[in-house]
Chains A and B, each alone.
Chain A
Amino acid sequence: MMAEITYRQALHDTLREELLRDENVFLLGEEIGTFEGSYKITAGLLKEFGPKRVVDTPICENGFVGMATGAAMLGLRPIVEIMTINFIVLAMDEIVNHAAKIYYMFGGQCPIPLVIRTPGGGGQQLAATHSQNLEVWFAHVPGLKVVAPSTPADAKGMLRTAVRDNNPVIFLENLALYNTKGEVPNGDYMVPFGQAKVTKEGADLTVISYSRMSAMALDVARRLEQENKLSVEVVDVRSLRPLDRETIVNSVKKTNRAIIFEEDWRSFGVGAEIAATLQEEAFDFLDAPIKRVASVEVPLPYSKPLERAALTGAKQLMEAIDELKPRRRR
């Protein structure tokens, strides 16, 4: 059984189901209760579960992320909402120095079953401090898991996996994905971490992506196919740490050309890691240099034309595909 619902609804329903399933699961964050969430993911949950399970916090990201980590040390399973990923910067100490370290540093005595949900992404004229994509900071850190679903089905399946995982998980959402719709399996549907998904098969080149850019890449690839121009394979990485290198490498071994499409900044970005992996593991299969399509390296400006010029998107991907495509179709 499948139902077509939005990404937002998939998240909401999964939170609700996990709250019903396990008494140790609780939600906390800014404005998630009375206000029902800045992006309404938690709408109705305070009313249904009460203030013990749906905890409104004051504005103190480091404080409440650390508090959630401490609660996880005693076996609770907190799900934190950080209003947007930009604010997670205030909680870096508790995430990087504590949540990510406690299990290892203390010799495996105390797991941290913690989920931190947070949306990234730009394009809504929110300017420099409200439009960032900082997930790579976390993907860099051993001890964390970082996942970034691009579809409502994966949003459900991966959030469920995150809640049941015994490690700190950064669960990346995206402002522009919340209203997107898709088929979502009913029931106890879970998507394991560390498994990329080939969302469209193709022969001419591979676009590797995650989160919103992955959804965009799929649209572009389908359009090119319909127009009978090119057969593009799309790999949705879905999980940045652990990273499914095998699926990425196998796809490029087949198509021999790779573009990494990412909304974050290009330097030291997710694309840099994937490109490095490809040259290490698929060097002999590459027919052309790997391309990275990413956002321009400026703090995102407010002005609409400037913002448009700074962000990457379908147009930039099309241009890169055009440059990289094989001269003769296969």
Chain B
Amino acid sequence: MDTQKKMQPDAESRISVHDQAQASIPRDEDRDTLLHYYYQMVLIRQFEEKAAEMYAKAKIGGYCHLNLGEEATVVGFCAGLEPSDYVYTNYREHGYAIGRGISPNAVMAELFGKETGCSHGRGGSMHLFDIERHFMGGYAIVGGQVPLATGAAFAISYRGSHEVVACQMGEGTTNGGPFYESLNLAKIYQLPIIYFVVNNQYGMGLRVEKGSAVSEIFRKACAFDMRSERVDGNDVLAVRDALRTAARFAREQHEPSLIEAVSYRFRGHSVVDPDRYRDREEVQAGRAGDPISAFSARLMAAGLLDENGVREIDEQVQQDVDAAVQFADESPDPPLEELFDYMYADAVAPGDTSMKGEE
């Protein structure tokens, strides 16, 4: 990968999200793997639509941010990593959790606040976690996960092991201090980390050009002499390949890098956002780049999928999502007597008389 070339803000680096449907599928791609990507994208789409529905029914509380429109970005991200790699994300992370192999049941149960949720109902939509799958958390303070992910990479480097860390964030995060501090630390300590910026072009309602002095986010990495590139976030294979390349770079060269995936958020910032700041034409244009229809068109053009296949996958996913809702609905709430569980990792010190929440 030629860093210098990628860093030039020229026409080549600009992504047209509509090019993908014309792109053919490379011959060496494995059919089952491709269909699995497609299945996962559809699963995330339907899961998120169902989450919105469940939110409207008050089954889900708090805030709820959806990955609708970002399915190729999410699935490509997960597909480019090894199971032993570590993932940190922000609060728009249902899809990433599912993509990392957390069951939709455990994710939906967490959204429902149930004991069977992947954070035992303590975290909710914005704080999914699964230590076994190295899904190291959704984080809801913008930028908060970036130093943490950098530290995980520090630990890998300290131990001399071969995992990498992938840290997802939105483009709005790249305007805050934690981003800059982390990239600097990663570069000076040569940490095996991929900073993965999903540029869906809005930080809540603020357009990227208004919030960021440099709206081609990948160019920010040059301040740290860090390798970076921009990919079409609507192209699952492009995102996967970018992750693979960056992961190899991290594993073999012990170097951090940054990937910007240009994507589009189909709905508002969160479920309750009426999305009044984007005009209809823009949203329609954004939706026209639907990564799922684009990918299914490519698969069909390559003869790897037909209408029947699409229908079968849709039906299978629908069953999975319905099962997740049923599982979440029927799961127990966390018991009240366990309110203080997980406060501290150690047993109470002998002789301590303080309140439960203190120790």
Contact = CB atoms under 8 A, between A and B. Distances in A.
Interface string B167-211: 000000000011001101100110000000000000000000000
Nearest to B344: A167
Contacts of B86: 74
Contacts of A57: 185
A75 B155 contact: yes
Interface string A24-61: 00100000000000000000000000001001011010
21 contacts: A55-B189, A60-B184, A66-B144, A66-B181, A66-B182, A68-B151, A69-B148, A70-B150, A72-B151, A76-B154, A97-B144, A98-B141, A103-B342, A105-B127, A106-B123, A108-B342, A193-B349, A243-B354, A245-B354, A246-B351, A246-B353
With a 10 A CB-CB cut-off, give which of A105, A112, A167, A246 has the most chain B CB atoms. Answer: A105
Interface in B303-343: 341-343
Interface of B: 86, 88, 117-123, 127, 129-131, 136-137, 139, 141, 143-144, 146-156, 158, 177-178, 181-182, 184-185, 188-189, 341-346, 348-354, 357-359
Interface in A177-219: 192-195
A111 B48 CA distance: 30
Contacts of A76: 154-155, 158
A109 B130 contact: yes
A21 to B, nearest CB: 17
A47 B133 CA distance: 39
Interface residues of A, number: 53
A142 B355 CA distance: 10
A107 B343 contact: no
A13 interface: no
A74 B152 contact: yes
Contact of B119 (A66, A73, A93, A106): A106
A71 B144 contact: no
A26 B182 contact: no
Interface string A240-262: 01111110000000000000000
A110 B349 contact: no
A97 B155 CA distance: 21
A94 B150 CA distance: 13
Contacts, number: 180
A112 B148 CA distance: 11
3 nearest CB pairs, A to B: A70-B151, A66-B147, A63-B181
Contacts of B139: 98
A65 B121 CA distance: 27
A152 interface: no
A93 B144 contact: yes
B155 A109 contact: no
A94 B182 CA distance: 12
B353 A245 contact: yes
Nearest to B158: A76
Contact of A111 (B117, B345, B349): B345
A169 B184 CA distance: 26
A125 interface: no
B151 A60 contact: no
Given A63-B182, A63-B184, A193-B349, A242 B150 contact: no
A33 to B, nearest CB: 13
Given A67-B151, A71-B158, A106-B123, 18 more contacts: A58-B188, A60-B181, A63-B147, A64-B181, A67-B182, A67-B185, A71-B152, A74-B86, A75-B155, A103-B343, A103-B345, A105-B122, A106-B119, A107-B118, A108-B341, A108-B345, A166-B344, A195-B349
